[in-house]
Amino acid sequence: MTLAIDRNDPAIHAHVESYRRAMSAKRRQTLIGAVIFLVCVWLAAIGSEVDPGKFIENAWRFPKYILETMPTLRFATLGADMAEWFWGIKGWLKLLWQTILIAYTGTILGALGGFLLCFVAAANLGKSPVLRFATRRFLEFSRTVPEIVFALIFVIAFGLGPLPGMLAIAIHTMGAMGKLFSEVVENIDMKPVDGMTATGAGWWQVIRFAVVPQVLSNFASYSLLRFEINVRGASIMGFVGAGGIGQDLIEAIRKFYFTDISAILLLIILTVMLIDYGTERLRHALLSLEHGR
């Protein structure tokens, strides 16, 4: 059955006019927002001395440099060309393994520190406002200072090697994971917490039996994601002498060993891709287990 609509009905005309006014106001607000955004971008470009002309003039240098790092491969001598390209594969793989270990150890220590501090920083669990404020500021400091700056400081303190890189990644990871973990804790169901508290359980008992079971899978997922990020971060720790494959990469860049640059970058890219794929599967498996409960 078709419902007949009287187009001359004053109520219909009123609704149509109201809709037109609302859409006109929305389009006007969108246009104003776009103009403000473009003005802000323009002002930011002026403040940061961005020169579009210079960018356009020199943009060709980037692909030119990438092409220069690529070796000449011939089908007739492919094996010999590949062997020459990856002449340092044994040493590079050792440094790459060291890079992964730096990221792994830093992630474990940082996630453990974030785990211990997140409950104090959470607004729904932290009993002392002063302690919560101090913990949050400490986590902010830890994640605000770039990893490379921490690495420079630790190289001065502990000398060259993987230890400064691992410590730098651990501190930065602690700040980032503490923030993420505390946000997860603040969104838990408080009924188990209230029930445990009503039975006379202590604060740590409440955390252990009412909070941790709700957040553990999310914590593990975030830790795996952070491990991916830390592998990429650990790749440049060697730039300041903090271990890993970055030390050979920066040396090749400085000495214009073009084919070595592309070989090392290719190894790093393949490693990160494999780790990303593996951790992504693990994260999805953890989330599936959580939703399947």
Instruction: Note the pLDDT tens digit of each residue in 135-185.
Output: 999 999 999 999 999 999 999 999 999 999 999 999 999 999 999 999 999
1 pLDDT above the threshold of 50: no
Assign a CATH topology to domain 88-292: MetI-like fold (1.10.3720)
H, E, C per residue of 165-176: HHHHHHHHHHHH
Per-residue pLDDT tens over the stretch 61-71: 888 988 888 88
**For 53-67, 107-121, 259-273, which range has the lowest pLDDT when averaged over its residues?**
53-67
Q: H-type helices in the chain, by residue range?
A: 10-47, 52-58, 61-69, 78-85, 89-121, 129-144, 147-158, 162-186, 191-198, 203-206, 212-234, 246-254, 258-292
Higher pLDDT, 15 or 81: 81
Q: Is the pLDDT of residue 74 over 70?
A: yes
Q: What is residue 244's three-state secondary structure?
A: coil
Instruction: Please report the pLDDT score of residue 6 as a whole number.
Output: 58
Q: What is the pLDDT of residue 147?
A: 92
How confident is the model at residue 194, as a pLDDT? Answer: 87
Mean pLDDT score of the chain:
88
Q: Return the higher-pLDDT residue of 1 and 214.
A: 214
